[in-house]
A and B are shown apart, each in its own frame.
Chain A
Amino acid sequence: MKKQEPGKKLEEFGKELVREIDKGKNPAIEFSLRSLSNVVFDEKSRTLTLGEKTQQRLFFNVAHAKKFLQTVEMAKVSKNLLDVGKHASLRDVFYMAKRTIPHSNINIVDDQAESDKAIEDLELITDCSREQLNINANKMGSVAGNVVIEDAGDSINWAKLGSGGWSIPSNVEKIEFKSVKAKYVIYMEKQAVWERLHEDKFWEKQNCIIVTSQGQTTRGIRRLLQRLTEEHSLPIYVLADFDPWGFYIYSVLKYGSINLAHMSGTMTLQNARFLGISADDVANYDLKKHFIKFKEVDMTRLKQIAEYDWFKKNKAWQRQFKLMKDFGAKLEIQSLSSKGITFISEKYLPEKIKRGEFLE
């Protein structure tokens, strides 16, 4: 399929199926296989990408039929949205598709996970992101800093948005950066830490942008970060807990994830740096007393991460893993508050950045 309007692509997708049906062929949808076995780490781009394998979804097949139906249904819903030029959330779309097939107890979709999955499949089929298909995720996360943008005709200054900051929409494609004065970006795992730094006007003092996600890094935030670093060459620092999950957040931001391997091109942050908390901080700031002992899951997770292709040959990272393994314990960012409420904004972060203490 050539680069086309998403609406056109969807229509073409439908027409192709109808043609097959007319010919009496079992209608089939073919797209890249999206499973662990088909995700590879591309050494060249240093991202996770999909391999060559494809999967076929047939309608007249017991195992495929329902998914086939869901995919077509989602395509229809998306096409309708595009036709009327409206956006809908994942949840909306779920309800738009959800109905019971007459004279049976079968729902076309039973829960949102199914419709979400169908949309991801559709992304692969049409080579359009879900945002392009007019389907948005919920807004999550906040940003603040010396940046002025234009969004949907409104000019917004990220420095003048009170205590809440600007909440990042799901689709950031349409945003235009008017002026970017900040020198770097800090992405932090925890909303609470972001609030601390915002209250202390850390971004003002350090001339940077602070970003957080409510819990998980959404696609919107990842895309926003990528645009900031690509369009304005800002370095990105990641501030996360000292534990395997913290490392994993960094890993996903930098190299992409298995699940969104097909979107790696528009998501990964090649120049992301891990600021903290590192194993060395434990000694430097005397944080040992705040250790939380490892559970078994933590240890297994650590081992898995240490085995990742992209970490395997990285000596600095392997050292971190080893130290963590030796500690057998983890640490939260908030433990820095034991040194004083503004310790993180006034001492820890400025020092770390000044000294260039980060991992790549």
Chain B
Amino acid sequence: MFKEARREVQKSMVGYSMPKAEAKSQKNGQSKVHKEELIHARELAKKQREISIAEFFEKNRHLLGFDNPRKALLTTIKEAVDNSLDACEEARILPEVTVELIQLGETRFRIIIEDNGPGIVKQQIPKIFAKLLYGSKFHKLSQSLTAEQPFIIENKGRLEVTTIGAFVDSFIEEGEKDIFALNIKVPAFDWKNYKYSFQPISRVIKHRQNNEIYEIKLQSGRKIKVTGCHSLFSLDSNLKVQQTEARELKMGDYLIAPKKLPEPETLSSIELLDYISAETAQKQYWYVYGLSPGYIREVFSNAWIIHKKTSKSRKYHHFENIDVLDDSYKQYLHKGFLPAYLAIKLKLRLPENSYLQTYHHGKITKVPLDWPLSSSFMRFLGLFTAEGHADHRQAGFTFGRQEKDLIGEVTNFALMHGMDYTLENREEKNCVRVKVFGGLLSHLLERWCGKGAKNKHIPDFVFSSGLENRQHFIDALYRGDGHNTKGRNQLMHTTVSQRLANELMYLWLMQGVIAHQSQKTNRGLGKTPSVTYITTVYGKDIEKSFCFRCNTTSKTNAYRFLPKQLIPELKRSLSPRQDLFQAMGVTHCKFRDFSNLNQHNITYLQRKRMVEVREGQVFCTPRLQLLQEEIPLFFASDLCLLKIVSIERLDLCNEWVYDVSVPGVENFVGGWGGMSAHNSRGQQGIGISAAVLYAQLTTGKPALITSKTDAKSKAAQTKLKISTSTNEPEIIEEIQLDWPEKEHGTKIEIELEGVYLKGRQSVDEYLKETAIVNPHVTIIYVNPEAQQTIFPRAANELPAPVKEILPHPYGVELGILIKMLENTSSRTLQSFLTDSFSRVSPAVAKEICENSAVLPNIKPDEITREMAERLIEGIKKTKIIAPSTDCISPIGEEQLEKGLRKGITAEFYCAATRPAAVYRGNPFVIEVALAYGGELPKDQTVRVLRFANRVPLLYQPGACAISESVNDVAWKSYGLEQSRNSPPVGPCVIVVHMSSVWVPFTSESKEAIAHYPEIIKEIKLGLQECGRLLGIYVRKKTRIHEQMARADMFEKFLPELADSLASLAKENKEKILKALQKMLVRPEIKQEILAGGEEDKLYKMELSDKGEEKEDMQRELNGEGKGR
């Protein structure tokens, strides 16, 4: 319910789990605690946890913003207001926030904050407000999975089942790393419809385990190993998804797992060369034909000509990783082909009609390079995965003699593709062996499906091959290695390959089927027992298949029910087919029409608190309404519930554990067979719970939360405390009440010790500044003196929701670029540049390559560090359009100006939104606004209001890049006073707002923006843009001022001139004066006076008598002497 960008919770905090000895020694420093030492040891131990949470807060209060009573008051309001604004924006509601500060004692305040947000469901209230989070980001220990946990990712449109350990290890050795730029996605459910989609991973995390690890097994054979603090998901009694830490789970609980994974882009064909190893190809007679001499020439134009001396000097074409003899080149050119290994090594992008040519006993076989994924091919693969093995020159299948159709399937496929095959009867084993010849085929099958029964796996492209093709593959696999048990409605597959078993679970998941898996250990004659994995599909799921059918009447699968223990009102589990009322024994009943119910039904429903009877009328209770809405929602979602069958605590120590962050949705799919796992980002709203704790520690009073989610229901009011012993919410009182003045919204009342002061770091200032940068917000503020201030809404549009974009090349650092190059699937540098970055067209990519002196068709993995450095330089030299601002939400010039008008009274306003720029690959937008003149103090330093992502920065102005930029700009030319490198002086307020996906703060307390040159440059440009407008205004104002002064001056000159002239010419003074005064009002004279500027030239000339020619003239003026 809170937005990411605003509430980047502190990354790391000084450890909560501080060693006890240290904690004690620190305590000893305080005399007050000396007495406590005398307390009995056992008592002390009992208090230990209580001490530690209070102590933890004490230790970290500066990071949380509770350093002193003044800041505590501000922080509390800040957290609450930020939350309100975020919640409103997320729900697309125009926010209206009321803040009331009531002074109860000298240092005691009651804070009441009320918003019109979407409201919080009653059950969520305690978690949000009364649990100080020390897990996840806030805690040193992240939530994590063990290395071998399966993990599914989508990279460049292809799904891949890997393990989280292998995935994270490819980026880091230890710690955390931001990989947002790589755009690798994982399936994650959203929190509205619970539908799965692919969401990008923002960071990967790897660290040593420091708490216990649990292995949790579910009823379908799914299992996951997580650290105790890692959260998994379950459903609460309101059918809302909630998270629960692994250590708190019990047997019999239900956990959430995906029912269906999202569909990636469907792959219709694969590039065979991607799967052939250059080493094997070099040993074989495999050639790529269908190439024009022009194409070959172009390929070789990238090579250097070198000469090598063996027996005689020979001419070679030198590529980065291979040299080709000139004679060979001539032959390629002549016949229009290239050896396959060359095409692989050079990562060539081959023309469309090219094909692979192989020889088998002199017979030519042509294979298209762009291999189509047909259903027959998928079935062939399925059969091979089940039954086949690959030799050097042939692929062998062993079938039972009765499996004629399977034999036919294989031979047909071979015939169609021009491959030779043989059938060998093996009498003794009662089986038939089918051999399909061809070195290329056997090589490919080995690469696709693995070698040996224990290493079999599913070809990676199968996952992306589309629903039907996947089913063909599964069917063939089950026909080969599985069996359809008669009369038992189950389809079983048996394998000894652990990898295959796991991948099969995921493959079924792609089909929207929850497969069940079990293990069987066979203690045969061998020394080591072998493990067999059995993957079973039951009931209706079998019907998904094209060839298998249920043997008996199909039943609904268990995971498609809602367990009755979740909804105690239900007698039995609920399936999606069953109508809610039917399930409760009530028939023929529509939504709110109870007229057809008999008294028996109504009494039953009344007892279950589903209906209320008032004055003879039957009404739905909110509970029934909720169920009516939530149950269909859950059934329509991609989630299902699976029962926990075992929880085992593993006493492993110092294992590496892993996690990834998925911003926004905070979950991913992992574990054996696929479970929904919470990720490391953790719950937000940490600040407000800290405020509740602070209040409780200083006054002992609980927090009072009132929230209403819609107009029809009642508001829930909860009195809360945080238990300092368990860090759990303690509900003191919970009531339902009418809150007629609000349709929806939340009200928080907190009583705390604080100090209220006015000034730059005050509550008043914070609210005012918030109103400036959030012109769409209405803030009503009542200060302790009971004075009400209203900052009315100045704009009726909400900030635009943000979109994701690829990273922009400007500002990408060398390390990130190298990593991206290593991980790309693009074949050439040019395509890498266009695919991995935003705003890079092929033309721009070429220009980058040109500017960096790197060939555009070089393969990304051949780019050396030195070349990458040149690329960075090349990018800097290339003009690239600024990144799209879709991914950030700037306020906008007009809106910002409106906001400023709302907050500051002045006579001149202007605002500028800079085009998006980039630092370290992160796009950001700088906005600047100015207010000038009016009541603003003329002789004071200009006030600079700093904002990051619409949040005012009130502390540490000296350390901030914004302040530095302001000092750096030459304000004198814009009409303000300024001494060198110091803040300008004048009647002016400067607003600088930085919005970015990631604002770089100087420290964890998020009070100042770090000094990146790109950011400072943008801020300065923005300031200058506004400065120029200000300069024009100030000059105009000065001119008018001067004109008036001049007119005034003439009026005063007149009597003087008249007087002098009268005396000189012996005339009447009054007469002259009158004549002069008459002239003064004449338009041409007036014009002359006011347009003083036109005479500038003459004026300057007169000035120059004292000016330019000063040296010479002055010396002479003084009497022709020496001017030494």
Contacts and interface: CB of A to CB of B under 8 A. Distances in A.
Given A108-B1056, A216-B1121, A217-B1119, A76 B1112 contact: no
A72 B1061 contact: yes
B1109 interface: yes
B38 interface: no
Interface stretch (B338-346, B432-440, B853-861, B1099-1107): B1099-1107
Given A11-B1065, A60-B1050, A35 B1121 contact: no
Looking at B1053, B1064, B1085, the one whose CB has the most chain A CB atoms below 10 A away is B1064
A258 B1122 CA distance: 15
A113 interface: yes
A18 interface: yes
A24 B1117 contact: no
Contacts of B283: none
B129 to A, nearest CB: 66
B1116 interface: yes
A69 B1053 contact: yes
B1052 interface: yes
A101 B1052 CA distance: 7
A209 B819 CA distance: 97
Given A18-B1065, A61-B1095, A69 B1060 contact: yes
A245 interface: yes
Interface string A61-83: 11111111100110110011000
B1088 A245 contact: no
Contacts of A72: 1057, 1060-1061, 1064
Interface string A199-229: 0000000000000010111110010000000
Contacts of A61: 1088, 1095, 1098
A59 interface: yes
- Size category of the A interface is 35 or more
A22 interface: yes
Given A18-B1067, A259-B1117, A249 B1122 contact: yes
A329 B838 CA distance: 70
Given A76-B1060, A76-B1064, A106-B1052, A62 B1089 contact: yes
A245 B1078 contact: no
B585 interface: no
Given A101-B1052, A106-B1052, A245 B1057 contact: no
Contact of B1113 (A14, A63, A258): A258
Contacts of A44: none
B1095 A259 contact: no
A259 B1052 contact: no
Looking at A60, A64, A67, A73, the one whose CB has the most chain B CB atoms below 10 A away is A60
Contacts of A196: none
Contacts of A17: 1061, 1065
A260 B1113 CA distance: 10
B1121 A215 contact: yes
A24 B1101 contact: no
A80 to B, nearest CB: 7
B1120 interface: yes
Nearest to B1042: A62
A260 B1122 contact: no
Interface string A110-153: 00010011000000000000000000010000000000000000
Interface string A261-280: 00000000000000000000
A182 to B, nearest CB: 24
Contact of A257 (B1048, B1116, B1122): B1116
Contacts of A248: 1122
B1049 A18 contact: no
Contacts of A35: 1101, 1104-1105, 1109
A76 B1080 CA distance: 23
Contact of B1076 (A21, A75, A116, A217): A21
Contact of A116 (B1055, B1064, B1098, B1117): B1117
Interface string B109-145: 0000000000000000000000000000000000000
A245 B1072 CA distance: 50
Nearest to A15: B1065
Given A11-B1066, A35-B1101, A62 B1046 contact: yes
B1063 interface: yes
A217 B1078 CA distance: 48
A213 B1053 contact: no
A280 to B, nearest CB: 23
A248 B1119 CA distance: 12
B1013 interface: no
A293 B38 CA distance: 89
A234 interface: no
B1046 A60 contact: no
A103 interface: yes
Nearest to A33: B1101
Given A113-B1117, A213-B1121, A217-B1121, A24 B1075 contact: yes
A69 B1050 CA distance: 11
Given A13-B1064, A26-B1085, A215 B1119 contact: yes
A213 B1064 CA distance: 36
B1075 A217 contact: no
Contacts of B700: none
A60 B1102 contact: no
Given A76-B1064, A259-B1116, A62 B1053 contact: no
B1102 to A, nearest CB: 6
Contact of A79 (B1052, B1056, B1063, B1124): B1063
A101 B1060 contact: no
Contacts of B1099: 62-63
B971 to A, nearest CB: 28
Contact of B1116 (A66, A103, A245, A260): A260
A216 B1120 contact: yes
Interface in A13-39: 13-15, 17-18, 21-22, 24, 26, 35-36
A67 B1102 CA distance: 10
Contacts of B1065: 11, 14-15, 17-18
B1063 A76 contact: yes
A104 interface: yes
A10 interface: yes
A162 interface: no
B1118 interface: yes
A101 B1120 contact: no
Given A18-B1072, A103-B1052, A108-B1056, A259 B1061 contact: no
A102 interface: yes
Nearest to B1057: A69
A284 to B, nearest CB: 25
A238 interface: no
A66 B1045 CA distance: 14
B759 interface: no
B1042 to A, nearest CB: 9
B1049 A60 contact: no
B894 to A, nearest CB: 40
A233 B1082 CA distance: 61
Contact of A75 (B1049, B1064, B1082, B1112): B1064
B1092 interface: yes
A218 B1120 CA distance: 7
27 contacts: A11-B1065, A14-B1066, A18-B1065, A21-B1072, A21-B1076, A26-B1088, A35-B1101, A35-B1109, A60-B1050, A61-B1088, A62-B1046, A62-B1095, A63-B1099, A72-B1060, A80-B1063, A103-B1052, A106-B1049, A117-B1105, A213-B1121, A215-B1122, A216-B1120, A216-B1122, A217-B1120, A257-B1116, A258-B1112, A258-B1116, A259-B1120
Given A14-B1061, A219-B1119, A259-B1117, 8 more contacts: A26-B1079, A35-B1101, A35-B1105, A73-B1060, A76-B1064, A104-B1049, A215-B1122, A257-B1120
Q: Which 9 A-B pairs have the closest CB atoms?
A: A216-B1121, A14-B1065, A14-B1064, A63-B1099, A216-B1119, A62-B1092, A259-B1116, A245-B1122, A15-B1065
